[in-house]
Structures are given as structure tokens and as C-alpha cells.
């Protein structure tokens, strides 16, 4: 091989090597950018203001939990909670969804004024519960209301002795007891060795200050929202992170879904109206009241009354 041929081969080899190295450098830079810059780790903040847990409010809260769970950039979640509880089924739903989120990323409940009854049930689904010294926590118990038996009617015939009534009052009291035991057992299981209360003490359904709740093992520590954020980051194993307002992001998804369904874009005022309407429905009081007709034809011969069970703290009145 001539000297020129060897020189040319050497030049080509160097160019190829340089191109390979440039390609590797670009790939590494691309990966670093999207790993560390574009996809910064985040702590998601879900802010639940004073909320009676109903079907409507639980639905929107679950949307926020789902957003936090599905966003891979969110490494930990802080749920700021202030609730006296609400419906049994809705409260249990929030417990299961919080516990499901906990299985995928750390969840810290930060109690503001109140996490009682169904609100406390949701809380025990998290990794840890942080409250203020003056917060109120507990009221682990159940309330029930049930309607009176419908009047006899020759035009209304049912099968089975309880078809028209659902059962005697003692039946509902027995159900009340079963639901109470289930709540207590859930608290015992979820709080584990941290709990310093017997089942009988829990069954008294007392409300405790944050300081008392810490001593009894109903919560894990005393602190603020900032403490909850730091704890979530520590459990997630991250130190450099940003915060994301999950409420806003979940609402934005609702707006986008609205636009896709109806094929129209909301202007600024329209978006504000939609957000206000959404929050008004989501954070309203209990939607299910005793005696509410649920999809029953208007000419049905009797009012449909269903038993109502609530994990709800009712403050004493004078």
C-alpha cells in the first residue's frame, strides 16, 4: 500500500472515530438533559380544603390522586387534608385510592384543622400522617339514619318480608356495628406497632388534639406542610426537586377533556367558570340525604328512603 493510501485510510479512520464519539456524546447529552433537566423530580401537592366527603368530592379527589400516581416525574405526594369525613362508601374509596398511591410512591398526609372519621380513614392509607399540635384527629366511628317503613298499599307488592323495608331497625343497628368494627380493624392494621390504643379505646370515637394523637399513635409526627414536603422527599430519596400543584393540573385535564368532547375551546372566562363550577361540586356538602329520590319515576307510589351511614365527625352544640 502506498504512503498516500495509508494516509487516506488513517484520515478516514480518525473521521469515523470522531463521528462515533460525537454520536455517543450527543446521545449521552440527550439522555442527561431529559433525565435531569426536562424531567426534574417533583413532589406533588394535593390540597383538600374543608371538605365533607361525598360522592362528588371523592370523585375529584380521586382524579387528583390518579394524576399524581400516573405522572412519573412526581416522586412523592403530600395531601393537605381538612375534613370531618362524610359518607361511608366515599370515605372508603379515598382510603383505598390513597393506599394504592402509597404502593407506588411515598404519600404524606398533612392535617390542617381536622382529620376526623372518614377524613382520618383516608389518612391511614398514607405512609405517614403529620398534624399540628392543635389539629383535631380521630372520631373513629359511624353514624346512621334510616327512614320509616312505607305505609301499606294494596297496589304495591313485594317479595320477601324485608323487600319493602330493607329490614327492621335492629338490622341497621347490626350493620352499623359491623361497619364500626371494620373501621376499627382498619385503623389497628394500618397503624400497626405505632398505635398505643386498645380496640375498646378506639371504639369510644373520641376526638383528640394533635399532641394527644401523637401520644396515642394515631399520627406519626407534629409539623407543618413544609415538614410533610421534606418527609415525602426523604422517603422518595430525592433532594433537588420542584413542587407541582396537582389541583391545577387535574383541573387542566378536565378542561382539555371538555374541549375534546365538545369540540370547542374555552376562553379565559369560560375556563374560570368551569373551574369554579367544578370546585363547587367537588367540595360541596353531602349529596346523599335521607329520603332523596335516586332515579325513581315521579309517579312511583312511595318515597324511596335508603339507610345512610356516615364516617362523620359532628361537633357538639350547646
Judged by DSSP in three states, 48 sits in: strand
Give the model confidence (pLDDT) of 221-274 as tens digits.
999 999 999 999 999 999 999 999 999 998 888 777 777 776 666 555 555 455
> Burial level of 293, CB count in 10 A (0-12/13-18/19+)?
exposed
Q: In this structure, are residues 120 and 208 in contact, taking their beta carbons and an 8 Å threshold?
A: no
Q: In this structure, are residues 47 and 279 in contact, taking their beta carbons and an 8 Å threshold?
A: no
> Burial level of 300, CB count in 10 A (0-12/13-18/19+)?
exposed
pTM: 0.76
For Cα atoms 224, 225, 227, give the angle at the middle one, nearest 5 degrees: 65
What is the pLDDT at residue 19? 57
Task: Find residue 79's DSSP bridge partners.
Answer: 46, 109
Enumerate the H helices of the chain as residue ranges: 3-32, 55-70, 88-102, 118-123, 169-191, 199-203, 210-216, 225-236, 246-262, 268-282
Integer Cα distance of 315 and 165 in angstroms: 31
- In 3D space, the residue among 66, 165, 108, 144 whose CA is nearest the CA of residue 307 turns out to be 144
Q: What is the DSSP letter of 161?
A: T
CB atoms within 10 A of CB 113: 15
Q: In this structure, are residues 210 and 132 in contact, taking their beta carbons and an 8 Å threshold?
A: yes
Counting as low any pLDDT under 50, the low residues of the chain are 7, 30, 33-38, 272, 276, 284-294
Integer Cα distance of 145 and 160 in angstroms: 23
Non-local (6+) Cβ contacts of 232 within 8 A are: 43, 76, 77, 78, 106, 107, 108
DSSP-derived secondary structure for 200-258:
HHHHT--EEEHHHHHHHTSSSEE--HHHHHHHHHHHHT-SS-EEEEHHHHHHHHHHHHH
Judged by DSSP in three states, 35 sits in: helix
Integer Cα distance of 76 and 243 in angstroms: 10
- In 3D space, the residue among 136, 133, 69 whose CA is nearest the CA of residue 96 turns out to be 69
284 Rama class: left (phi>0) / alpha (psi -120 to 50) / beta = beta
What is the pLDDT at residue 290? 34
How would CATH label the architecture of 41-293+303-312?
Answer: Alpha-Beta Complex (3.90)
- Give the DSSP H or E segment for 46: strand 42-48
Count of alpha carbons within 13 angstroms of residue 90, beta-carbon side: 30
Amino acid at each position: 500500500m502506498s504512503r498516500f493510501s495509508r494516509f487516506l485510510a488513517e484520515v478516514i479512520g480518525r473521521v469515523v472515530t470522531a463521528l462515533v464519539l460525537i454520536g455517543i456524546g450527543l446521545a449521552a447529552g440527550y439522555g442527561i438533559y431529559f433525565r435531569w433537566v426536562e424531567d426534574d423530580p417533583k413532589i406533588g401537592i394535593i390540597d383538600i380544603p374543608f371538605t365533607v366527603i361525598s360522592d362528588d368530592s371523592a370523585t375529584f379527589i380521586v382524579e387528583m390522586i390518579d394524576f399524581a400516581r400516573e405522572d412519573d416525574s412526581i416522586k412523592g405526594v403530600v395531601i393537605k387534608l381538612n375534613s370531618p369525613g362524610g359518607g361511608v362508601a366515599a370515605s372508603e374509596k379515598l382510603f383505598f385510592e390513597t393506599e394504592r398511591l402509597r404502593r407506588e410512591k411515598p404519600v404524606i398526609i398533612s392535617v390542617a384543622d381536622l382529620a376526623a372519621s372518614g377524613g382520618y380513614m383516608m389518612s391511614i392509607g398514607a405512609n405517614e400522617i403529620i398534624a399540628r399540635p392543635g389539629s383535631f384527629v380521630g372520631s373513629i366511628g359511624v353514624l346512621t339514619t334510616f327512614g320509616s317503613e312505607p305505609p301499606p298499599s294494596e297496589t304495591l307488592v313485594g317479595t320477601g318480608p324485608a323487600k319493602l323495608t330493607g329490614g327492621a331497625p335492629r338490622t341497621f343497628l347490626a350493620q352499623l356495628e359491623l361497619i364500626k368494627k371494620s373501621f376499627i380493624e382498619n385503623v389497628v392494621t394500618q397503624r400497626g406497632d405505632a398505635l398505643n390504643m386498645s380496640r375498646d379505646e378506639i371504639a369510644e370515637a373520641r376526638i383528640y388534639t394533635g399532641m394527644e394523637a401523637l401520644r396515642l399513635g394515631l399520627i406519626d409526627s407534629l409539623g407543618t406542610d413544609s415538614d410533610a414536603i421534606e418527609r415525602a422527599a426523604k422517603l422518595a430519596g430525592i433532594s433537588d426537586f420542584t413542587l407541582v400543584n396537582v389541583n391545577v393540573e387535574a383541573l387542566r385535564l378536565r378542561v382539555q377533556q371538555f374541549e375534546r368532547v365538545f369540540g370547542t375551546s374555552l376562553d379565559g372566562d369560560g375556563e374560570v367558570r368551569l373551574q369554579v363550577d367544578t370546585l363547587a361540586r367537588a367540595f360541596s356538602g353531602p349529596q346523599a340525604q335521607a329520603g332523596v329520590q335516586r332515579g325513581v319515576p315521579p309517579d312511583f307510589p312511595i318515597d324511596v328512603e335508603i339507610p345512610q351511614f356516615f364516617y362523620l365527625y359532628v361537633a357538639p352544640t350547646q
